Structure 1
């Protein structure tokens, strides 16, 4: 169902009113998560655009943002978002909440809420430590807890239950106040009606767009040597838009169009946003999934955990991942398909296939140096070493 700008603005006002009312409520106690101080090392940072998403509230602002966002996606595929509607205090509270499923839940209880990604392709629940390996020998040191937009859809660990209303509100904030404005601006950059992508990303639709918490733990020196300091190999995300709430531990790197790795700088209370494979499918290769990886942090941050707060967005499960051929832009520049339209998957098929394959596909050397490939339902997926 098409949603008007006026309706979305009313939702935005409603969410903001909820946020303001929180100061009058007694929130459940949550231990404070102590993050690392920002690194003082001189790193080679990527030069990313900073998008002021509050400008998307006006016609004039969206017209300007369409140009900015188009350049950002074509140049780097990553960009910052500021003025997104959450205060520093609210953001800090969410990081405190994000640590709860890891530090306040026993290993035995975590087993009760393990995801069924191998069986069903659903990542809801825990993906525990040492689930994957980085080179066939060293298991990972990250654990994940994924919710659903409807936090009541499944059971949660006891320590997390009093916090579910805040997580639900956070889901809505990411979806309506960040994701939808971005999608509206992207559609405009393709000279399509602004709600083209918004209509494919319904909040109440079946799918797995949701908040996910990820915690990286320090590794041993032997593990770092074995993996050449790479914690998560270069890859592209499976969804359309990934929203990462910036945190201070420097570990995320993107691969530039020239093939060089550059660090992502931490900006306080900013969001780090990138396009994924699904956006590449829908845009006919115009906006490509951005290659990124996670590596060992600088020396002054190596004894800290790295806590990530994400909103991984995907189109509705029933959306077929074919190019938006009605776009005048795509008609002018041409379409690069990753598979024939007749063989294109739905979002549900794609997300389940990618999730099931995670750490269970056999990778083969590709034609490019340092790149391994796997075939997922007829689509080539690359991994960058």
Structure 2
């Protein structure tokens, strides 16, 4: 089984002079993101390079460079006798001695490796072996000083976070020809390893290979190979600062917890609604079986299905939903019952009308045999009675003609 390989981790982070105060506050564990810090181990942190007042000294040097460049600019304008420009620049004041960029003129360097690599103790019987930390520190200081020289104004080792790591700050001093003289300014690209990330990864990989660490993933080469072979290149990896990552992770965990709590509440709410519906249904079934139908109306709505009114009558969501469902079903049944009742009544009326018709025919047959005077009286009475009775029969429309012929025969 092959031995697991651990890469040495190198990152550059842009900084501005205004970031130094916050950087120092975090270094001294007096500010910044401290949620991940084991305060019991903060005493093990160690300053490796630079004096204790390095940040203040750096600020003073940057201000000095700013004033030097401003003086050189004013001398240049004076030599050109450009009074208007001199007046304008005096009003504006000194400018920052670096080219504006989103990264800033300074660089923070972070060097570390996987926590598992530092904790491995197979070469020693000591439980708390720090040999790997010591070796890593020695090689890191050598690499920083070899590649950045005196521009490494600060370096420290942190042992109170998840994995041992080293922070360093680079003040990239450069000399440029400007305003007819040599001027100092801050220029990160003066250092080849800052200018070329892949070269920096190669350099740090070679530096730490003697203690078993390897170079990090060659992502740019992988992209070039993929493009050359007509394949989809791997997605560009964007580094997120630890503090930002922890903030994002805390937000993600909080959102997940909120979703879990929402699902729990929804489940509990549905369970309560189901219980309410069951109890409502049981109460409705019991009430409808025991209560007499009001006013003898088989289609009268039970009291429990009616909308509650007045204060203190707000039902639970479960009961409200059950009441609505039952009321809709009850209305359908009620309409069906009314239609069935109307159909039954119509059949009964039709049967009665048919009986009346038969009786009327009998009267006609008898009246034919009576004297003319009696026939006329019966015919007159029959017209009034028949007119009222036949209104009950929808099929009687248009039958007046037939009725008149019967009367003529009488």
Q: TM-score range by the shorter chain?
A: under 0.3
State TM-score, norm by structure 2.
Answer: 0.22
TM-score between the two structures when normalised by the length of structure 1:
0.23
Specify which structure has the bigger relative contact order, considering alpha-carbon pairs within 8 angstroms and separated by 6 or more residues: 1
Which structure has the bigger radius of gyration?
Answer: 2
Structure with bigger helix share is 2
